[in-house]
Amino acid sequence: MVELNSLPYIEMKELPFHQNDVENDEINEITRNFINIHSEKINSIDKNLKKKLTNEMINMGYPYSVSDCSLNYVFFRGISQALEFLEENENGIVGHLFFPSSKNQNCALCSKDENVHPKIEQYRPIIASRNSSVEGQFDSPNDTNLNQYQCMVCFERFEESNLWSLKCNHKFCINCIHSYLNNELEITKVGKIKCIDINCHELFTDEEIKNNITPEMFQKYQKFLELKKIIMNPNAKWCPRPGCGRYQIGNKNQLHMICDCGFEYCFKCSNPWHPRKKCEDVYLLLGN
């Protein structure tokens, strides 16, 4: 997670937002309208990522409605972008248009005066700059950083040799790659781990994952992957003997399963093997 004191061009002040609001109807309406327009893109974003980023903003002191709105408007690309959307930049201009409030003359989202909001002709360059930084391009380069690139997650600048990408060429710093993969594995998301860019469908190979996490974490990944393959295989059956943890491969034509631990059980009902009884009769006998 990006530290607040490393965020670009953001001066954190006493929050002007609706501190006591859990649900703010005006802000929620702004969010709903935006989601309706961009529903396909927003619905494709990982739910765990949405929850994680929203909780991080709430922990920073932002109300849920403000956090949800700002993160949706930047397509959950990161806390840094959400704060750039909400807060004033070095010129004293916030990163969003003015949303009129029915309660007062201030913005419904940030409670600030209209004069600190960009006009529509000023807003287009802000969006272009925000999108270009997300694509890893130069953000106002100068003589000292012409050979540096911006990580698409933490927005810090690095020499190209310190960045890493899949074949899609979306560049991220090594630390963000490590954090991303570790987070994906912590939520047991294995098999199809995509590029961090939410619009990209390029997948990590097992070798690429192995090269970007610790050996211990890769062992955990392999276990998760094996477990997923077992769960997805309709012919795989776990041994019902308590504490065994093994599985066998069977089929509907070969119901007699013999585990490596010696326990014999039925492929169909997973009860102890019953050669002269139907599964239904065993269920009645066992009270299942």
Tens digits of residue pLDDT in 24-76: 788 888 888 778 766 777 888 888 888 999 998 888 888 888 899 889 888 88
Number of domains observed in the structure of the chain: 3
Q: What value does the mean pLDDT take over residues 129-144?
A: 42
Q: Is residue 250 part of a domain?
A: yes
Q: Are residues 115 and 84 in the same domain?
A: yes
Q: Are residues 111 and 172 in the same domain?
A: no
Q: Are residues 93 and 173 in the same domain?
A: no
Task: Return the pLDDT at 288.
Answer: 53
List CB contacts of 252: < 8 A, sequence separation 6 or more.
267, 268
Task: Return the pLDDT at 10.
Answer: 33
Measured distance CA(27)–CA(51) in Å, rounded: 18
Least-confidence region, from 54-63, 154-163, 177-186: 154-163
Task: Return the pLDDT at 7.
Answer: 36
5 compared with 131, residue with greater pLDDT: 131
Q: Are residues 208 and 281 in the same domain?
A: no
Task: Return the pLDDT at 169.
Answer: 85
Q: Are residues 13 and 95 in the same domain?
A: yes
Task: Return the pLDDT at 22.
Answer: 45
Structural domain of 270: 235-286
Residue 128 has phi, psi (to 5 degrees) of: -60, -45
Domain CATH for 208? 3.30.40.10
CB atoms within 10 A of CB 181: 21
Domain end, chosen from 229, 250, 265, is at 229
Q: What is the mean pLDDT of the chain?
A: 75
Q: Are 49 and 56 in contact (CB under 8 A)?
A: no
Task: Return the pLDDT at 5.
Answer: 37
- Indicate the pTM of the whole model: 0.41
